[in-house]
Amino acid sequence: MRALHASAVVRALAVVAVSGYAAAAASSAGGPSSMLSAIVAAGRAQHSVHYTLDASFGTIRVLQVSDVGRTRGIQRISFAKAGKHGMVTVVVAARTAYIRGTALALTDYMGFKPAAASKYANVWVSIPATNSDYSTVAAAVTLTSAIDEIKLVGPLVQAPDTTLHGRRVSVINGAAPGTSGLASATLYARAAGPPLPVELVASAANGTRLTTKFSKWNAAVLPAVPRHAVPIARTGLQ
């Protein structure tokens, strides 16, 4: 297990057990599946998004603050477990993921080996796209992979439009992806204009809860690429 994106956070915490406008116009007639497709397409059609994720289960809490574009992004993660706190930052650019974190976050959150995590705590480590851990670490740190996290699975139910944070939104209920239906989820998207996702809320019967909020669409995403990062193959982390 490596860096956890939305559905993987739900899975792990629960031990489980979370082309736009034209498509949106047709979504109401097509039902919740068509609406979900329109929301996903609208999100993918953008250049970038800022999103936050807040997940908790028992004594574990994960906070993610991410700014992601089509080919690059940055994610800052705060991890707490039983009163202990850790941090990790993930940067993705040029098909390489870079990570830097505390020993606690590298072991208990990202699943790396403890001895190597202590040695390389707070040191930038690079993970090329050819490495087996790249896809998991880089997940949700680019726009398309982040938007994929809102693809609820069935059965889907379209609820009446409502108001959320002062904005009129459409509502779809279903299950969080990757949780075998054990985590229910509600997706809110803009009801007017392109149906961009606004918020995703997921929960499981054991008390796991996850909230992801989307904002600041199409802001510039230019994360600094770490220099002199240590290739992960030399670290013994895996």
Cβ count within 10 A of residue 71: 13
Residue 30 in any domain: the answer is yes
Residue 46 in any domain: the answer is yes
Identify the domain containing residue 169 by its residue range.
6-233
Cα dihedral sign, 158-162-165-168: positive
- The strand pairing partners of 215, in sequence order, are 50
Supply 34's token pair: 């068509």
Predicted confidence pLDDT, tens digits, the chain (238 residues): 455 555 555 445 443 333 333 333 334 457 999 999 999 999 999 999 999 999 999 999 999 999 999 999 999 999 999 999 999 999 999 999 999 999 999 999 999 999 999 999 999 999 999 999 999 999 999 999 999 999 999 899 999 999 999 999 999 999 998 777 679 999 999 999 999 999 999 999 889 999 999 999 999 999 999 999 999 999 999 9
Residue 70 in any domain: the answer is yes
Supply 37's token pair: 């497709």
Residue 186 in any domain: the answer is yes
Residue 147 in any domain: the answer is yes
Q: Where are the alpha helices (DSSP H) in the chain?
A: 6-14, 20-44, 103-104, 114-119, 134-138, 143-148
In residues, how long is the chain?
Answer: 238
Q: How many domains does the chain have?
A: 1
Residue 1 in any domain: the answer is no
What CATH number has the domain bearing residue 71?
2.50.20.20
Supply 11's token pair: 């899975």
Sheet holding 167-175, edge to edge: 153-164, 167-175, 183-190, 197-204, 209-215, 48-57, 60-69, 73-81, 84-93, 96-101, 125-128, 230-231
Residue 163 in any domain: the answer is yes
State pTM to two decimals. Answer: 0.87
Residue 238 in any domain: the answer is no
